[in-house]
């Protein structure tokens, strides 16, 4: 099968995003030693606007300009954090996911310069996070901590922490791995302590749907278990139809025997109400499992919670 001579890869221009592109280039070089790659970095609305994301149509704030470059033919392949790709709507018309790379760590980490763990943080400790998912869970389990709005890419957040704009941060372990800063982690939080976001730790490769030569060339980078997990998680979010202020968390797992399960939660912003569901796929395909878990939460009142949150 012919492989394109040159693959132009578009991505956000943050250090984390560029590290993700380097992983893709390294994996491509193994699969297709002859292929040349070029990087097309773009700034997204989410990188430029450091205020409240819901004010800049939060959904797609980290993907819109990347998708546009792909569709305009300025690049051939986009690398996205699945977590940042809206799931309530289909992918931009004319594009498809060609592969989901093997999943990284899905957990969040506490970054505290003094090395304390979450349970050791004294009352009033300011946690820098704008994530409604993290805020709701902290409010439920650690109500004595105070969350302060914190945006910017991971490197920028670490700089702001060092400048004293917060006392501690929550950041994804996978992101810290990608920027080579796992040294700042004071505690890795279990998924029970801090339920991860849908799509955590997964990179997706997106192509134009008519670019079959490229789709064939990169599909070999995909990981089948990650694909099943991503399909279940994204269909879950699609059926639930959240918005950018609705605290939703969850993750699918393919266990050692190959069985797929999906666990997910919806919270009120104050964390006082938490709906839970956990189901095994059994004979269901991943997308149907995602649908089933969403319906289980809707039966418990998820729609009322989500629609009751201003956005």
Ligand X SMILES: NCc1[nH]cc(CCC(=O)O)c1CC(=O)O
Residues belonging to the active site: 84
Tokens 């922490």: give the residue.
161
Number of continuous H segments (helices) and E segments (strands) in the chain: 10, 13
Which CB sits closer to ligand X, 126 or 133? 133
Q: Which stretch binds ligand X (CB under 6 A): 81-89, 209-217, 236-244, 272-280?
A: 81-89
Q: Which of 7, 77, 154, 294 binds ligand X (CB under 6 A)?
A: 154
- CA dist 217 and 28 (Å) reads 9
User: Looking only at residues 167 through 226 of this chain, which bind ligand X when binding is defined by CB under 6 A?
Assistant: 171-172, 174-175, 200-201
Q: Which of 65, 76, 84, 187 binds ligand X (CB under 6 A)?
A: 84
Which CB sits closer to ligand X, 203 or 277? 203
Q: Please report whether residue 66 would count as binding ligand X according to CB under 6 A.
A: no
Q: Please report whether residue 83 would count as binding ligand X according to CB under 6 A.
A: yes
CB of 61 to ligand X, least distance (A): 9
Which CB sits closer to ligand X, 176 or 239? 176
Rounded to 5°, the CA angle 131-278-175 comes to 35
- CA dist 231 and 216 (Å) reads 20
- DSSP SS3 for 119: helix
Task: Show contacts of 183-186: CB within 8 Å, 24+ apart.
Answer: 184/111, 184/113, 184/158, 185/109, 185/110, 185/111, 186/109, 186/110, 186/111, 186/112, 186/114, 186/115, 186/116, 186/117
DSSP code of 84?
G
Q: Please report whether residue 78 would count as binding ligand X according to CB under 6 A.
A: no
Q: Which stretch binds ligand X (CB under 6 A): 79-87, 136-144, 158-166, 261-269?
A: 79-87
CB of 174 to ligand X, least distance (A): 4
236-261 burial, b at 16+ Cβ within 10 Å, e below that, comes to bbbbbbbbbebbbbbbbbbeeeeebb
Q: Which stretch binds ligand X (CB under 6 A): 78-86, 112-120, 136-144, 258-266?
A: 78-86
Which CB sits closer to ligand X, 87 or 154? 154
CB of 84 to ligand X, least distance (A): 5
Which CB sits closer to ligand X, 175 or 242? 175
Question: Dihedral of CA 161/165/170/174: which sign?
Answer: negative
CB of 286 to ligand X, least distance (A): 19
The binding site for ligand X (CB under 6 A) comprises: 81, 83-84, 154, 171-172, 174-175, 200-201
């Amino acid at each position: 099968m012919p492989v394109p001579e040159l693959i132009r890869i578009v991505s956000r221009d943050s250090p984390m995003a560029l590290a993700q592109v380097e992983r893709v280039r390294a994996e491509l070089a193994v699969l297709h030693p002859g292929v040349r790659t070029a990087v097309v970095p773009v700034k997204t609305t989410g990188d430029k606007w450091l205020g409240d994301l819901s004010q800049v149509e939060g959904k797609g704030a980290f993907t819109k300009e990347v998708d546009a470059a792909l569709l305009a033919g300025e690049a051939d392949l986009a690398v996205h954090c699945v977590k940042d790709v809206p799931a309530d709507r289909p992918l931009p018309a004319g594009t498809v996911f060609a592969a989901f790379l093997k999943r990284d760590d899905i957990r969040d980490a506490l970054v505290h310069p003094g090395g304390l763990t979450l349970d050791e943080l004294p009352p009033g400790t300011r946690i820098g996070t704008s994530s409604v998912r993290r805020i709701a869970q902290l409010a439920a389990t650690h109500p004595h901590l105070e969350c302060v709005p914190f945006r910017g890419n991971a490197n920028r957040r670490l700089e702001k922490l060092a400048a004293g704009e917060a006392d501690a941060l929550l950041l994804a372990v996978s992101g810290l791995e990608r920027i080579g800063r796992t040294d700042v982690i004071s505690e890795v939080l279990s998924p029970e302590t801090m339920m991860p976001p849908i799509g955590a730790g997964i990179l997706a490769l997106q192509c134009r749907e008519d670019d079959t030569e490229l789709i064939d060339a990169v599909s070999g980078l995909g990981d089948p278990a990650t694909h099943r997990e991503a399909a279940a998680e994204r269909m879950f979010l699609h059926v639930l139809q959240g918005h950018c202020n609705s605290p939703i968390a969850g993750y699918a797992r393919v266990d050692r025997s190959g069985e797929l399960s999906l666990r997910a939660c919806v919270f009120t912003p104050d964390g006082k109400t938490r709906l839970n569901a956990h189901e095994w796929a059994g004979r269901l395909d991943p997308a149907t499992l995602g649908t089933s878990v969403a319906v289980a939460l809707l039966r418990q009142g998820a729609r009322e919670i989500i629609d009751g949150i201003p956005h």
